[in-house]
Amino acid sequence: MKILMILSHGQTTVERKFSVDKSLEVENSKEDSCIAQKLICENVNNSIDIHSTIVTKATRRFVSSLRQKYILHLEEQRKFGNQKNLENSRKRKVDELYLTLWMVRSPL
């Protein structure tokens, strides 16, 4: 099976190994993103003629399913982040309550 590497429009900075957009720097610094970008760059640089690659129906389905998996992964991360924020807010409230009780019980 041929491996097809797709670069989104405006991702030429990936080829230069850095990103100009500050919001992408955090994402690009993650280990998986760096490895994926390096693989893409190596394959693009090593390919003789990238424009002659044949894109089959099966390849399009595969890429489409990867996009759907990526969206599901982002939703799971968002849910996990929301749960973590909720837990942190609960911990802050408990800490504030303990601090308030301590201030009331201990004479100054």
CA dist., res. 48 & res. 96, Å (int): 64
* Amino acid code (one letter) for 44: V
20 versus 58: the higher-pLDDT residue is 58
Domain map of the chain by residue range? 56-107
pLDDT tens-digit series, residues 30-64: 666 667 777 777 777 777 776 777 778 888 888 78
pTM, 2 dp: 0.36
Residue 1, pLDDT score: 43
Q: Is 51 helix (H, G, I), strand (E, B) or coil?
A: helix
3-state helix, strand, coil split of the chain in percent (to 5) is 75, 0, 25
| pLDDT, average across residues 78-104 | 82
* Contact of 40 with 5, CB cutoff 8 Å: yes
